[in-house]
Chain A
Amino acid sequence: MIIQGLAFYLFSVIAVFSAVMVITARNPVHSVLWLILTFFNAAGLFVLMGAEFLGMLLVVVYVGAVAVLFLFVVMMLDINTLNLREGMAEYMPVGVAIGVVLFAEIAAITGGWVLAPEIEAARAQPLADPGAVSNIQALGNIIYTDYIYLFQASGLVLLVAMIGSIMLTHRTRPGVHKQNIAAQLDRGRTVELKKVSTRGGI
């Protein structure tokens, strides 16, 4: 258990430290890199809890895809880091006010958190033998049975987002040449292929 404890503190200390660095780093690209380190350590915490599937999913989806695109965009922006702090005093009160409101809301919610009685009962039951059923099976048993409608609905939301982004980018502009691969391959015998014997030449 000592190893687990040490690993937990290692992951959580690095996660908190890099999360702080995300908002304090001057260079936006460095911020994104710190954010990636935060994700990575959060994945480590998931694995430590025995939720290895969620941990891997976090790495694949957030670190492997979302953060790459994020980094991509931030690198393309030519941000002048010196001018970033110009309006600091002006925007500070608004920012602090929003932060306080959000924090108060979260505190109110977590303070008054009450679980439904059936969930409370489910929590009191001992967990199924972790060796018998794997992470993925356990998740699948819940997602595809009890929460199938919510699961399908979230799929639909993603589909709508996908169609929306395709519609936004898919426009026909005049004067743009497009390659028609089928037509090119179908142009007949304008080019002659010759079978050349090895070490013989033409």
Chain B
Amino acid sequence: MADLWQGYIWPGIIIVAQILAIVLPLLGAVAYLTLMERKVIGAMQMRRGPNVVGPFGLFQPLADGLKLLLKETIIPTGASRAVFILAPMITFILALIAWAVIPVNAGWVLSDLNVGILYLFAISSLGVYGIIMAGWASNSRYAFLGAMRSAAQMVSYEVAMGLIMISVLLTVGSLNLTKIVEAQANSVWFIIPHLPMAVMFFISTLAETNRHPFDLPEAEAELVSGYNVEYSAMTFGLFFLGEYANMILMSGMTTILFLGGWLPPVDIAPFNWIPGPLWFLIKVVLLLYIFIWARAAFPRYRYDQLMRLGWKVFLPGSLLWLVLTAGVLKATGWTPWN
């Protein structure tokens, strides 16, 4: 009995507590990211944004969530029911489980996988299924067109993202996310040697999360709302939460790969007083701000331009940079392995 407690139940309780410690703040962050988006865009367009519900509109996300929860879930008659309901769940769950390998401080990670970055890449490449299943199961032309666009878009930009990740991995010599950050503590943040790649990676994450200016899957002017047009109430809510959780995840990924994770910019007095998780948070919020800024500033891309950018600019560019990185590391003897 004591063995059972020591071996299974107690570790199980700890793991569940750790999962809750990741998921609950994440859901709070998603809720307030929607408010931040509306406030920031409001400020950029010289409006106030939501300011009625609670002080400064702080309760607006709760009101929105409650509204979505209380509405009626409608499933279209022609829909493929199981797939229709499964699609938003997959989107949301994938956005959550990726956080299992994200280190927010030295050792603050649920699972310190040796292939952490590959896990992240795998999970983010699965995100397309939620959208493509939603588009197909809705049995609606708009939704299907949105899903088709999204599938092509996400597959295209993943290629460039993978190559950019390999450049970073070459300079680190490990796929472990904690080791990637530690390598930046010993040298410089990778945004300095890999600046063009950092920019390209960020733009690719915009395309990967279907955000502006690459939000063609839900282009409301042409496709009404794209893949989620038939969804209502909480099924729509899960798509929405998934999209925003993915934004935070992608910002976290960019932070770890290029902005030194939980590290302060310079390791001197006023900066290293601030604890690591706070630095991580600051960097993620900064990147999220750029996400929102891009939405306010840029018009939507045309579809052929999007494909051209992905395949004819980012893919050769990142491939070239990969060869260059490998060459420089080999020629200068800076290889992290021997």
Using A3-B8, A53-B115, A59-B126 as known contacts, say yes or no to A64 and B132 having CB atoms under 8 A apart: no
Q: Does B119 contact A (CB under 8 A)?
A: yes
Q: Does B168 contact A (CB under 8 A)?
A: no
Contacting residues, chain B, for A135 (C-beta < 8 A): 114-115
CB closest residue in chain B, given A29? B136
Q: Does A134 contact B (CB under 8 A)?
A: yes
Q: Does B129 contact A (CB under 8 A)?
A: yes
With a 10 A CB-CB cut-off, give which of A60, A72, A179, A199 has the most chain B CB atoms.
A60
B304 vs chain A, min Cβ distance (A)? 7
Q: Which residues of chain B from 174 to 215 have any CB-CB distance to chain A below 8 Å in the complex?
A: 174-175
Q: Are A68 and B115 in contact (CB under 8 A)?
A: no
Q: Are B46 and A199 in contact (CB under 8 A)?
A: yes
With a 10 A CB-CB cut-off, give which of A53, A68, A71, A179 has the most chain B CB atoms.
A68
Q: Are A33 and B133 in contact (CB under 8 A)?
A: yes
Encode B92-115 as 1/0 by CB contact (under 8 A) with A. 000000000000000000000111
Instruction: State A68–B308 Cα separation when bound (angstroms).
Output: 20
Encode B202-240 as 1/0 by CB contact (under 8 A) with A. 000000000000000000000000000000000000000
Encode B135-149 as 1/0 by CB contact (under 8 A) with A. 010000000100010
Q: Does B121 contact A (CB under 8 A)?
A: yes
B164 vs chain A, min Cβ distance (A)? 15
Contacting residues, chain A, for B125 (C-beta < 8 A): 59-60, 63-65
B141 vs chain A, min Cβ distance (A)? 13
Q: Are A68 and B151 in contact (CB under 8 A)?
A: yes
Instruction: State A171–B158 Cα separation when bound (angstroms).
Output: 26
Using A36-B129, A59-B122, A68-B132 as known contacts, say yes or no to A136 and B158 having CB atoms under 8 A apart: no
Main secondary structure of the interface of A (DSSP, over half): helix
Q: Does B29 contact A (CB under 8 A)?
A: no
Q: Does A56 contact B (CB under 8 A)?
A: yes
Using A33-B83, A64-B126, A69-B155 as known contacts, say yes or no to A75 and B136 having CB atoms under 8 A apart: yes
Q: Does B118 contact A (CB under 8 A)?
A: yes
Q: Does A10 contact B (CB under 8 A)?
A: no
Encode A26-46 as 1/0 by CB contact (under 8 A) with B. 010110010010000000000
Q: Does B253 contact A (CB under 8 A)?
A: no
Instruction: State A135–B118 Cα separation when bound (angstroms).
Output: 12
Contacting residues, chain B, for A134 (C-beta < 8 A): 114, 174-175
A77 vs chain B, min Cβ distance (A)? 12
Q: Say which size band chain B's interface belongs to.
A: 20 to 34
Q: Does A107 contact B (CB under 8 A)?
A: no
> Among B8, B122, B132, which residue has its beta carbon within 8 angstroms of that of A71?
B132
Q: Does B241 contact A (CB under 8 A)?
A: no
Q: Are B119 and A63 in contact (CB under 8 A)?
A: no
Contacting residues, chain B, for A69 (C-beta < 8 A): 155
Q: Say which size band chain A's interface belongs to.
A: 20 to 34
Q: Does B128 contact A (CB under 8 A)?
A: yes
Q: Are B115 and A52 in contact (CB under 8 A)?
A: yes
Q: Are A53 and B118 in contact (CB under 8 A)?
A: yes
Contacting residues, chain A, for B136 (C-beta < 8 A): 29, 75
Instruction: State A3–B245 Cα separation when bound (angstroms).
Output: 30
Q: Does A57 contact B (CB under 8 A)?
A: yes
Q: Which residues of chain A from 43 to 101 have any CB-CB distance to chain B below 8 Å in the complex?
A: 52-53, 56-57, 59-60, 63-65, 68-69, 71-72, 75
CB closest residue in chain A, given B169? A136
CB closest residue in chain A, given B133? A33
Contacting residues, chain A, for B174 (C-beta < 8 A): 134
Using A29-B136, A64-B126 as known contacts, say yes or no to A72 and B114 having CB atoms under 8 A apart: no
B9 vs chain A, min Cβ distance (A)? 12
CB closest residue in chain B, given A67? B129
Q: Are B126 and A63 in contact (CB under 8 A)?
A: yes
With a 10 A CB-CB cut-off, give which of A59, A64, A179 has the most chain B CB atoms.
A64
Contacting residues, chain B, for A2 (C-beta < 8 A): 8
Q: Are B155 and A136 in contact (CB under 8 A)?
A: no
B116 vs chain A, min Cβ distance (A)? 10
Q: Are A136 and B115 in contact (CB under 8 A)?
A: yes
Q: Are A68 and B119 in contact (CB under 8 A)?
A: no
Contacting residues, chain B, for A64 (C-beta < 8 A): 121-122, 125-126, 128, 158
Contacting residues, chain B, for A136 (C-beta < 8 A): 114-115, 175
Using A63-B125, A64-B158, A136-B175 as known contacts, say yes or no to A72 and B132 having CB atoms under 8 A apart: yes
Given contacts A64-B122, A75-B148, 15 further A-B contacts (CB under 8 A): A27-B80, A29-B80, A52-B113, A56-B122, A59-B126, A60-B162, A64-B121, A65-B125, A65-B158, A68-B132, A68-B151, A68-B155, A72-B132, A134-B114, A181-B308
A-B contact pairs, 28 of them (CB 8 A): A29-B80, A29-B83, A30-B83, A53-B115, A53-B118, A56-B115, A56-B122, A63-B125, A64-B121, A64-B122, A64-B125, A64-B126, A64-B128, A65-B155, A65-B158, A68-B128, A68-B151, A68-B155, A71-B151, A72-B132, A72-B148, A75-B132, A134-B175, A135-B114, A136-B115, A136-B175, A179-B304, A181-B308
